[in-house]
Structure formats: C-alpha cells, structure tokens
Structure 1
Amino acid sequence: MTDYGHDLAFGTFITPTHRDPQAPVRLAQVTEAAGLDLVTFQDHPYQPAFLDTWTLLSWVAAQTERVTVAGNVLNLPLRPPAVLARAAASLDLLSGGRFALGLGAGGFWDPIVAMGGTRLTPGESVDALDEALDVIRGIWDGRERRALRVDGEHHRVAGAKRGPEPAHDVPIWLGALKPRMLRLIARKADGWLPSMAYLKDGDLQRGHAIIDEAAAAAGRHPAEIRRLLNVQGALAAQPQGFLQGPVEQWVEELTGLALTDGIGTFILAGDDPRLIQTYGEEIAPAVREAVARERASAGTTPAATQRGARAIALRRPGIDYAGLPAALAATAVEPGDRAYDAVRHNYLRSGAPGLVLRPRDAEQVAEAVRFARSQDVPLGVRSGGHGISGRSTNDGGIVVDLGALDAIEVVDEASRRVRVGVGATWGAVAEALSPRGWAISSGDSGGVGVGGLATAGGVGFLGRTYGLTIDHVVAAEVVTADGRVVRASDDEHPDLFWGLRGAGGNLGVVTWVEIEAMELGNVVFSQMTLDATDVAGVLERWGAVVESAPRELTSFLILSPGRRGRLADGSDDQGPVAQLMTVFAGDDTDAAVEQLERLAAAGPLLGHQAYLLPYSGVVQAGDKHHQGGGDPAVRSGLVTRLDAATARAFEKLALSGEAYFLQVRATGGAGNDVEAGATAYAHRHQSFLLSAMSSSQARLDAAWDAIMAPHVDGLYLSFDTDTRPERLADAFPEPTLTRLREVKRDWDPDNLFRANFPVPPA
C-alpha cells in the first residue's frame, strides 16, 4: 500500500478540437463551475484537427478565474525550453499563479520531424528533457543575477537573461513510463503524470518504487513528487468495469487509487459535460471525504510536511519542525525548499529564517503565534516585506508571512470605510478604490504592505491633506501574544487600539484594518529635479514653500550628494541634486501649477514633468518578491521647521560621505490636527521627516549623533535601524512611553513581539 499524503486534486483532460473552437473553452468553464481544480489539454502541434495548445491555454486562463491550466503534456521537441519558460512564467503571472507545466519528451517522431523537429532516440530524448529542465528552472530564477548558461548536447543557453519569475512556484509534471524518465522525475521534477490507458497491472507500484528509490538517493523525500493520473470512464446504472458504473463505484475505486496506489491528482479524460459536472459536484467531494476519514484513522503524515535528507540537513536549531500544526505545514517554507529564496528576504534586508509560515486566515495566524511562542528563536511578522527597517525577516528564526491575507472590501459606503487585509499592497488598495473616487494616503510606493504602514504611522503623498494613515484606522482584528483573535476599536479594547496606531508590531499581529478613505478624483503628480549645489539653501527654500502651501500639496525631497573627483571622461564631478516628488490632491491644475512654480524657485531647475492622473497611478502596484541586498543602516528624525540651522546640518551630513541616500518628507498639515496623546504615534507638532541611509550603522550613528541629533525631535519607527535602548524615548516621548509600556504589560507581558523597536512591558 502507498499513500504519500498529498492533498487531493481533481481536473479534466479535454480534447483541443477546433471543429467548434469554443467547445474546449466551454468545457474548461464547466470544469471550473463544477468545483474542479485543474483543466488540461493534450499537445500535438503537428495535429491539424487541434487548436494550438499554448494559445488555448492562454485563452482559457483569461476565460476562467480559479482553475489551474496545464498541458497534458507539452511537446518539448517542438517547444524550445527557454522560450517555453518565459511563456510559462508570463501565463502564470497573467493568470495570478494558475499555471502548471506538464512536459513530455516526445514520442511521435515522424510528425515531429515533419514539423521541423529533430528525431531523437529514446535515450537522447531523456537527455534533452533533462537539459530542458535546467534551462526552464534557470530562466525562472530571476533572483540569480548571473546570466544563464546551459551547455547541453541538445539545449544550449549561452548567457540568456533570466526572468520573469512566475507568480508562484510552478510545478513541473512529466509524462513518463520508462525507468530513466522516472529517475529523472525523482531528481528534478515535481510530479509523475502517466495515463491509466497505457498502464499495465503493477506499473503504478513499479513506477513508485523507482521514483522513491531515486528520490531518496537525491536527498528528496518521495512525497515531494506528486503522483497524478489521467483516468477515463463512464457513468452507468450498474458496474461494467473499472470506472464504468455508478457514482458510488467511482468513489470507491478512486479512493482506492489514492490510499493504496499513491495517486494525489485525478484528471478525467473526456469531453462529456454531464460527466464533468458529476465528477466535480459528487465524485470528487466524496473521494476527498473518504480519503480524509481513512487518513485520520491511519495517522497519515501530510505530504506537505515531508522533507528529504537534503532539506533536513538545512533545518535550524531551536525550531520543532515535527511539531508544526498540519494546517500551517501545508504552506510552510523551510531552507532547502524551492520557494525559500522567494520568501527569505525583504526589500532591502537579506534574511535566512529557519521557517516561514504562510497562514491563510486569522485562525491560522493564531496557530502560528502559538507555535512561535513555544520555540526558542526570533519571530518576525511580514505584511509586504518592503519595510526599510527590515524587521520582518531574521536569521534562523520564524517569519509569519501574512501575504495571503490580502482581501480589500468596502464595508460602509456612506462613511467610505474599507476593510483591508494586511497582506495587501497599497498599490492594490489604490487600484481598488480608484473607480469609486476614493483614496487612502499610503507612503510613496505601491509595493508596501498594508500591515506595517497602517500600524507604524503612514507618512504619505496625501499626508498634508489626509493626515497619517493610522489617523483614519477605525478598527482592527488582532491576534494577541497568547493566540487569541480579538477586535480592537474605540469601543472594543480601546487601550490596545490606541497602542496599535503607532507602536508597530509591539502588541500583536494585525490581520486586517478598517480605514476611512477620502474622496479624491485625479491628482497632479510632479517630478522635479533641482541643482542642489547650495544644499542648505534649497532645503530651506523648499521647506518654506511646503509649509506655506495649501494642504492639498505634499512634497518629498530626495537628496543625491553627488560624486567626488573627476569623472572618466575628464569632466568635473557631479554636484548634489534634489529630486522632488510632489502630489497636489485635486484636479485644479491652475492651483497646482501655481504651487509647483513656487517649488521650482527653490533652486536652479534641471527638469520637470507633471501629470494629471488617479492616485492609483502615483502608487502603482509593486513586486512583492524581494531579493534583499544592501542591508542598509537608516536613521531618521522629525523637525518642526527646516530652518537655516537644520538645513545646514543636513547639508553637512549629506556632504560628509557617510550617507548615500537622504530624504525629507513633508508630514505636517492634517496629521498635526490630531492630539499628541490620541495614538501611540505622538509626533504631532513636527512638519518634516528627515532620513539618511548608509552602509555602516556605526558610522551613520556617529555622524547622525554629532550632526543631526541637536536639531531633531523624535524619530519614525519604519525609517530607523538604530534600536539602542535610549532611542525608545525618541520613538515614544513621554507620557506616551509610560502608557505604551502598560499596554504592553497587559497584552504581551512576555515580550513575544520584540523585533520591531522593542517596548519593554511595565
């Protein structure tokens, strides 16, 4: 008996006939409507009676919303692997992660040759497929900066650029029967996909044995390879043969294939819409129920929790991997897993966590918190992973990645209240709200996750009009340190609600927030470049214009210190440059131009572009797949005014060479209408946020403390990596800190959440 513990999946295998070109598409839609998981099409590019399978897959992906699409199997000899890899990644991105790659080595060589392919012996075709897998995986590995080179006998890639990365970890399933192909599956593929019609008695178990032995030799666990099967049959009132009979017979026989023959995915071959509907609505649910019942009785280990010797060797001390709850194990990522590089890093911070948990709802978040508190390693919580401070990854610890909690839902039209999952990005939020003429101020990058910004502060492009993001949060769902799920608002746990708005991740794991949006149509977005040779003068003049401008105007300034010495072409070094990014929150272009002209007078104008566009065009959706790198040190400070002394100090820091990136953000206006004690973010009298980035924390601290510390008043949590204990008072001035420590004592007395500028419990 063989049961690898795979979650069961069910799909269809549809003939791609072109007699009625919409017929296969309709069957794919029937597949989805019936609740099935997968729709596949055979691929015979030399068959004139068929639609081209790749074109059909793309069309079907666009005509469906949920099902995964795959070739069953794609003909490699007529599909160059490098091109196929880019096409597969593109379709996966366009479909939102709904593509699987079924591949075959080729078998019908006369028509393949007739179409321009090269005839291969059986052994050569296996070698070619082996090489193709290296090419495909290499193209998909967008995090590897080196060009791809594969010097194969049949497939060569000489310095190809990598990418795009697929939206998810695309599985590769191989159609195979012979031992060499089965061993290749064990080493490099994710699934075995034979057809029942071609199998003789015992072939399944013989195939499993070959794959299992080769997988173990390669350091993989046999359960890492999904076992799929193309099946065919018919419904009948009485049994007439295997899968030829009533629903009950189908359920019994498919259940047997799962429990005793190791099959985890059943793909129904045939074009009968009534059979497809019955298969999805009656047979598949009953098989799932029967298999789940038997597995519970037998104590079957889920496949998702299994790791081979190669992966086990990379596990980190202090984590009880065997004790991970099954619901979390299904999506968890460990070092050695292929998905690990996609989840280990943040935007600017490299990480090497020992375990990344990816819960799907609040209850799973609670399970993750309960598990993490029982482990002897650091805990990081990630919403989008874009945070400059990089506190949502770690080395050797646990990261709870909330990216799956990304729903965006309007809960009250009248008050413009929107419930947003913390794993959503602000670009996605802006895009969702734009058709309603609504917006929420949210930083300057659409790739930032909702959770971090909506709990730490939220200094954004609409800030002088709207205030901080946290100022419009009216409720939140929170998983507490003891694993409870509670709602926080002015009426429910008001002390927790007060602390969540400004104390970052110190008090719990927020799963969603409700925020009141503002009414906003188009905005004027300006990108302006000024000669900043007179750094202090430009800063002072720019700051004065911003302070005196109407609240519709919010401006950020990025200061590039310039390059020293003579350049390679013999010209003088490049002096400092100031780049202004400015939003005028409204479509009154005359009023916007008047204010932009005042900004342009802050220094010699080198270039200017301005656009009238929706706010969603300003904070466009960004990539959530981060590669780390840089690991910068960051310091921040808040000031009431950019007066001459402050401007000269920032100039001195810029020209010191200790910072390679400097920024000033306007943060006054509506944000200062809020009382200092209303939220845990207490900096309500300052008008500008200054920040600097360096490659050395020690050197930046020394320079900042000597040059900027006398001029600044407070810091911004998300833009600071100096967590010395004395900095806590800069983040939370009294009486805020005393109150926050009391809230921390009540909600996290053991200081589980200590990665984000830790607040010691009272």
Structure 2
Amino acid sequence: MPDYGHELVLGTFITPTAHDPARVVQLAEVTEAANLDIATFQDHPYNADFLDTYTLLTWVAAKTSRLRVSANVTNLPLRPPAMLARAAASLDLLSGGRFELGLGAGAFPKAVHGMGGRDLTPGQGVKALEEALGIIRDVWNTKESGPLQYEGTYYSVPAMKRGPRPAHDIGVWLGAYKPQMLRLTGRKADGWLPTLQYLQTPGMAEANKIIDEAALEAGREPGEIKRLLNLFNVGFSPSRGGYLQGPVEQWVEELLPLVLEQGFSAFLIGQDDPGIIRTFGEEVGPALREAVARERKAAGTTTGPTRSAVVLSKRHAAVDYDALPEALAKKVVEPGDRKYEEVRHSYSWNGSPALVIQCESAEDVVAALAYARSQAVDISVRSGGHGLSGRSTNDGGIVIDLSKMNAIEVLDQTTGRIRVEPGARWGHVAQALAPYGLAMSSGDYGDVGVGGLATTGGIGYMARKFGLTIDHVTAAEIVVADGRKLRVDATHYPDLFWALRGAGANFGIVTAFELDAYPIENVAYATITVDATETADFLVKWGRLVEDAPREISSFMSLFPTRRGGPVTAQITLVYADDDVEAAQEALTPFLTTGPVVNQQAQLAPYYAIVAPPENHHSGQGLSDSRSGMLEHLTREAAEVIEKMIKSGDIMVMQFRSMGGAVHDTPKDSMAWSHRTQNFAVLAATAPVQAPRLDAHWSKLYPLLNGMYLSFETSTDPARLLDAFPEPVLQRLRQLKAEWDPTEVFNRNFNIPPATDGPAPKPDAG
C-alpha cells in the first residue's frame, strides 16, 4: 500500500477511569507536555466505572492549551446525531479548533440496549451510522438557509436550526473493521481509526484496499482519508523484545513500515503510564518524524493535501497550482476544498478566488507574494476581511489571507507599547489589553481586522479623546513588493512609514504593528433612538452638540429611512472615555434634546465589552455599494441635502462618525492621512440595484464635502483619490509608489498610480 503523505499525528488512548479522575486528566496533561498531538478516550457510557467521555473531553480541553482531543470512538447509539453535532461544534469552538470526532456504530449492543439505545444488528448499525454522519455534517453546514429537516430509517430531524459552525473542519474518523464499515469509511469519512490487535480479519492491506476502492467509486482520492492506529500492549526496555516492546530505535523500525507501506500516519498508544507516554513523545516522536521525512524525501512522496478529481476539476486555468512552493502546500484553500466556502467571501462582498493562501508568518507572506506575482492574476490581501470596500477578495485571483497571523502582545505595560499582527480582530485586541488597563480606539465593530484599519485610519469610539488608530502606530513590519521584509518607523524608511499611515495597502503587506495604547478601563456607553423625521433640524442640533461636547465624548450616529409608514429614525451611540459617572451624565444628557426619544439606555462598561467581536461568518452579506465623505460641519445646507437623501427611499442607511478633538491635534503633514480639520465622516450605503440612484443623490452632497475615508468607499473612480489624498499628499504618494511598487502589485486597495518621473528605489539600508 502507498504512503498517503499525511503529516504524522502522535498521541494517547487513555482509559477514563472514574475512581481516579484527577489521574486521567493528568495523563492528558502529560500527553501535551511530551509534545504529543492528541489525547483520545474510550467512550463506553454503559460502564459505571468510567467517566462520561464528553464531559471529560471538555474538562481536558480546558486544562490544556495545544492538545487536540477526541473520543476513541464515540458510541453513536447512545448519542443522538443532532445533539452530538451540536456538542462537537461547541467543544471545538470552546477549545479553539482542537476537537476531532472519532465515531463508531456502537460496540456491546446488549449494554447499549440496557441504557435505552436501539438494539440494532451490525448491518443496521452501519446504515444508522451513515444516516447520522449526514445529519452531523448538515448541522454544521450553516451556509444552508432554512432549518435542517431529515426523515430516515433510523433517525428523524423534523425541523432543527443549523449550527453552530465548528471552529475548524472537524475530522470524522470511523472505527471500522468489517467490509461494510470500511466501504462507508471510503465513501464518507475523513479517517479510519482501528486498533492494531483487531486487524487480523481482514488485515491491514485488505482493509486499505476496500477503503481505497470505495473512495474511488465515490469520486474521492484514497489519500483524502487519514489512517490512524491504536496501539495497545506496548512498552520500552533497554534490549529488544516483542513488537513495540523494546528500545526507541526498535519502535522506529517497527512503526516506519506502517507509515511507508500501509499508509498509517497517526499512532495512539493505549498505555496509562506517564513514563511510557513521555518516552513516546520525547524520544520516539522526534526520531520517527525524522525517519519518515528522510524516507519521504528519498522517495519523492508528496506530502501536501490530497485532492480528488472532482476537486481538481474546479481549479482555474489561469493559475499554475503545481508551482506552489512546498512550504505553502498545506496552507492553501482551493475552490473545490471543503473550507473554500469559509474563505472565499469577505463580510460584505462575494468572491470566487482561484486560491486562498492562509499565511502563518512573515516568511509565508514573502513566499505567497512571490508565488502570486508569478501568476499574473489579481492579488488581494485580507486581514479581517470585513471592509466595505470589497478589496479583500476577488474573482479568479489569489487572496493572501493573514487571519492566522493574529498574535497580540503587550511589550511594555508602563508605556502602553503593544505589538499586534494584522489578522487579529479589534475586539480581541481590546480583550487582550483589558487586563493591563489599556485600550486602543479602533472603529465601532470588534469583528474588523487589524491590518486594514491600521493602514487606513481608524475613526473609533474614543477618537475625539485619543485620536485615530493610526495616530498611535509607532512602527510596522512590512513585506514590500520586491519581497523584502522591512521594519519601518520614524527613523527607518521614514517616507514609507509616512505613507503606511493612511495609504499602507498600496505599499506592501504589513505583518505586524507596534502601537502605543493608552490607559483606560471603563467608559460610559449610551445609545439613544430618536424620531428624526425633522431630519435637517435633528442633524444640525446633533452636529452642534458633538462639536461643543468635551473631548471625552465621541459619537456615532446612523440614520434609517422610514419603514412601513414609520418615522425616519436615528440611532445615536455615545461613548464618554472616562469612568467619571457624574461628568459623563452631564456630557451625555444634552443629546436627549435632539428629537423625540424612542428609546435610551446608558451604562458604565469595560471598553472591551462594547466592541466584543461577534465572530460573524463572512458570506458577502453586507451592503456592497457605499459612498464616503467628510464634512467640516453639519451645516443647514448639508443637512437639508441629507434629509432628501434619507427620505428618498433609495438609501438604506447613512452613518456619521465624529472626529475633531484629538484627531485635529496631529499635524496634517505627519502622515498620509491629512484630514485634520473635518469634524464628521459620512457614509451612505444601499443595495446594488439602487446604486445608480445613490450616485444621483450623492452628487448633490458631494460639493459640500471635503475629504473621503477609503475603507467606506466602494467606487474605484480614480478621481476620488484627490478626496482621500488632497495635494500635495497625492503627488508624494505617487512618487513613493514609483519607488516601492512601480509595477503596481498592490493595486486593489484604491490604487495610487506611480508617478512617471518617480525617484529610483532606495538602497536596502534603513
């Protein structure tokens, strides 16, 4: 049989003994400390001497940080598939994607029946398992609209809400021995999980043959199915003994053929002995991995993901998939892959890229960029993938996805210096900073990724008190168009650092930011819903109150058109960036006079709580046409134009964000963002079918605007560049574009064309 090229997984098979639960958990902790990958546990609910396996799995996941967990194998007849799917997804979410689903048709049928389970024949058990497997995956498939409904021979789901979606693509591994179960494994499962001692009939080779033939008949590649093996009655001794009963080198000699000739790539030892576990992880593991890598290299074995003919048929002709660097082979998602639906879209826009490369390090970014440049297709860079501008996905191109680069580190609590990678989300940043008494104003939505916002602006809930997010960026690590990794700050590549803060997406891929956070914990947070039918009057009053408010007050306000004969409504969000309740009340109260109040609430809350990330699934569900501008003041003239817009029925929402205060303190020439006199950013958005009418309305407001916020603009009209970057800023950016990206590699983020008379590139030294 072939070596299927899967990455080695090594772990334990632990007995969930109820009389000493602390030791059971300790064995899992030893498993993790020994650098093993996974701890698995028997699931025999009818055994009164055993702990409940799924309760135990949750406890072990909470007590460890890296270790994957699984039942070995789940007793399906006593765990209804709909509930099992929900439990599995919950455990996967709680553990950060560390759960796998070992699943069996159910051993010991009399004991199962004694607990109330169905009394099924072996053949019926296999058919019930196949039904259950379909239900489980349908529960996880939250992309399907409507409830899950299923009526089978053994299971019925009349009407169930789908979800939650697991944190990762949970592998379903079947404990299978007989031909019918082996064929089901080949058709439907992600892995085969037998025990070595039970493989005599049929043997390994015959079982693998059955699985492979069933896979091919189902249009799958045999290599899609991982082969895992439980090993019992093993031990170590200084001299050679029985099978897996000798020194480390004997173990390696005896396990190696199982990898190279029988296709197994995971070994789970069933010995509840800390010493054996440590030796297996600390000595056998490294030696076996080295031997397998050496033999695979000599044999030229492909070790990347295995894809079926059906999946391969969905590849795009314009991309040379075979030219992908080996270092990235396990970090890509293709159109036919199961994970593709999770990564193809942004939050607001639909996309169908030819390839998504999920980078995990700056080195990955360098390799991904070099490969993407060689393909002559569109290149999109994604951090959080939320942006309204739609530039973090594409059709037929390559997406360099930074979402796995999400580390957050406090470098110096005293000064507030932090380091944040671009794939982190701002809600997670707020949560990570809270224990240090620090915060960073960063928009209003915790699901937004760091990279896009920290290179564009960041008009946040505390902007008038502390300024824009980019005002606090002190350094960045960036991969530029020619593949160099640079650290830029005020003294190293200062021109590039200047451009990075406001137009960064045009100049490279930032792999880390350093920012100065500031000390703040609790803030006063209020929302007021107002009848804004007298829209112009309301706008003028709200605008005046914002400008007159103390700097601690920042306000966002959204206007919604009339619905079913109701009034135009305004939702005012107010944040007072301090925990002085009396001062906050005094500053917030005047906003109750802006119009007839429909609803109001106020509270003192930790800053991180008001920007908690909702963990939205990105499926292009946002408004995909929006226009962005800035106003010096909300004048009567502007307010009257806006009133006509919102009452036209053509606009679905308009949002206003306050600036002023600390935003105006930063000199306008200190960075590419130069909008230091405007008090309001304004956004109008609607559905695609209404986009032409949006432009007609916007053309009446446009003469009153001064400036534009790139992240909220979906138009790519080059004329809008001067709104975002008024001269002489734009000319300086064009010269820098000619210097750092003359061939316009980074051209999907409101591209700045290089100056034709731009200077020659600088030398490497910073």
TM-score by length of 2: 0.97
Distance 2:438 2:50 in 1: 48
**Which amino acid in 2 is paired with 1:300?**
T
Aligned to 2:244: 243
> Following TM superposition, by how much is the alpha carbon of 1:625 offset from its aligned partner in structure 2, in angstroms?
2.9
Per the alignment, in what secondary structure is the counterpart of residue 100 of structure 2?
Answer: strand
Q: Are 1:72 and 2:76 counterparts? A: no
Aligned to 2:38: 38
For the Cα contact (< 8 Å) 2:357–2:401, is it kept in 1? yes
Aligned to 2:367: 367
> Following TM superposition, by how much is the alpha carbon of 1:704 offset from its aligned partner in structure 2, in angstroms?
3.8
Aligned to 2:525: 525
> Following TM superposition, by how much is the alpha carbon of 1:476 offset from its aligned partner in structure 2, in angstroms?
0.5
Q: Are 1:690 and 2:691 counterparts? A: no
Distance 1:334 1:456 in 2: 29
Q: Are 1:644 and 2:601 counterparts? A: no
> Following TM superposition, by how much is the alpha carbon of 1:201 offset from its aligned partner in structure 2, in angstroms?
8.0
Distance 2:390 2:48 in 1: 55
Aligned to 2:595: 603
Per-residue CA deviations over 1:162-212 (Å, capped at 9, x if unaligned) read 001111111110000122212211222110001001012872222222222
For the Cα contact (< 8 Å) 2:347–2:622, is it kept in 1? no
Per-residue CA deviations over 1:676-705 (Å, capped at 9, x if unaligned) read 221111211111001011113741453244
Per the alignment, in what secondary structure is the counterpart of residue 427 of structure 1?
Answer: helix
Aligned to 1:629: 621
Distance 1:108 1:118 in 2: 12
Distance 2:310 2:501 in 1: 44
> Following TM superposition, by how much is the alpha carbon of 1:413 offset from its aligned partner in structure 2, in angstroms?
2.9
Distance 2:694 2:639 in 1: 19
Distance 1:32 1:729 in 2: 56
Aligned to 2:540: 540
* 1:481-492 pair list within 5 angstroms: 481-492=481-492
* 1:54-203 pair list within 5 angstroms: 54-200=54-200, 203=203
Per the alignment, in what secondary structure is the counterpart of residue 258 of structure 2?
Answer: helix
**Which amino acid in 2 is paired with 1:272?**
D
> Following TM superposition, by how much is the alpha carbon of 1:549 offset from its aligned partner in structure 2, in angstroms?
0.7
* 1:608-623 pair list within 5 angstroms: 608-623=600-615
> Aligned Cα RMSD in Å?
1.3
For the Cα contact (< 8 Å) 2:388–2:623, is it kept in 1? no
* 1:264-279 pair list within 5 angstroms: 264-279=265-280
> Following TM superposition, by how much is the alpha carbon of 1:217 offset from its aligned partner in structure 2, in angstroms?
2.3
**Which amino acid in 2 is paired with 1:162?**
R
Unaligned segments of structure 1, at least 5 residues: 568-572
Distance 1:33 1:411 in 2: 27
Distance 1:472 1:536 in 2: 35
Q: Are 1:749 and 2:742 counterparts? A: yes
Per-residue CA deviations over 1:412-462 (Å, capped at 9, x if unaligned) read 233211000111111111111112211101000111111010001001000
Per the alignment, in what secondary structure is the counterpart of residue 386 of structure 2?
Answer: coil
* 1:372-391 pair list within 5 angstroms: 372-391=372-391
Distance 2:267 2:48 in 1: 28
Q: Which moved more, 1:622-631 or 1:746-755?
A: 622-631
Aligned to 2:505: 505
**Which amino acid in 2 is paired with 1:441?**
S
Per-residue CA deviations over 1:103-159 (Å, capped at 9, x if unaligned) read 001131111111111111222111111110111001111222221122211112122
Aligned to 1:25: 25
Aligned to 1:298: 299
Q: Which moved more, 1:282-291 or 1:413-422?
A: 413-422
Per-residue CA deviations over 1:2-56 (Å, capped at 9, x if unaligned) read 2111111100000111121211111001101111000000111111111111111
Unaligned segments of structure 2, at least 5 residues: 756-766
For the Cα contact (< 8 Å) 1:498–1:679, is it kept in 2? yes
Per the alignment, in what secondary structure is the counterpart of residue 670 of structure 2?
Answer: coil
Q: Are 1:263 and 2:264 counterparts? A: yes
Per the alignment, in what secondary structure is the counterpart of residue 684 of structure 2?
Answer: strand
Distance 1:122 1:320 in 2: 47
* 1:234-633 pair list within 5 angstroms: 234-304=235-305, 306-563=306-563, 567=564, 573-633=565-625
**Which amino acid in 2 is paired with 1:757?**
F
1:716 to 709, 712, 722: 709
Q: Which moved more, 1:88-97 or 1:143-152?
A: 143-152
Per the alignment, in what secondary structure is the counterpart of residue 26 of structure 1?
Answer: helix
Distance 2:567 2:68 in 1: 54
Per the alignment, in what secondary structure is the counterpart of residue 410 of structure 1?
Answer: strand
For the Cα contact (< 8 Å) 1:4–1:303, is it kept in 2? no
For the Cα contact (< 8 Å) 1:653–1:703, is it kept in 2? no
For the Cα contact (< 8 Å) 1:112–1:118, is it kept in 2? yes
**Which amino acid in 1 is paired with 2:147?**
A
Per-residue CA deviations over 1:589-633 (Å, capped at 9, x if unaligned) read 111111211111111112110010111011112205312224520
Distance 2:185 2:80 in 1: 20
Per-residue CA deviations over 1:517-545 (Å, capped at 9, x if unaligned) read 01112100001111101111111100000
For the Cα contact (< 8 Å) 2:357–2:398, is it kept in 1? yes
Query: Could you tell me the percent identity over the aligned residues?
Result: 53
Distance 1:375 1:216 in 2: 32
Per-residue CA deviations over 1:331-358 (Å, capped at 9, x if unaligned) read 2111121111111111121111111111
Aligned to 1:703: 696
Distance 1:508 1:466 in 2: 27
**Which amino acid in 2 is paired with 1:736?**
V
Distance 1:333 1:101 in 2: 22
Distance 1:702 1:194 in 2: 63
**Which amino acid in 2 is paired with 1:183?**
R
Q: When the two structures are aligned, how many residues end up with a matched partner?
A: 753
Distance 2:67 2:468 in 1: 40
Distance 1:67 1:669 in 2: 48
Change (3 A) 1:513 1:700: farther
Distance 1:102 1:330 in 2: 23
For the Cα contact (< 8 Å) 1:635–1:704, is it kept in 2? no
| Runs ≥4 residues deviating over 3 A | none
**Which amino acid in 1 is paired with 2:489?**
S
For the Cα contact (< 8 Å) 1:174–1:185, is it kept in 2? yes
> Following TM superposition, by how much is the alpha carbon of 1:231 offset from its aligned partner in structure 2, in angstroms?
1.1
Q: Are 1:738 and 2:713 counterparts? A: no
For the Cα contact (< 8 Å) 1:557–1:581, is it kept in 2? yes
Distance 2:753 2:304 in 1: 41
> Following TM superposition, by how much is the alpha carbon of 1:501 offset from its aligned partner in structure 2, in angstroms?
0.6
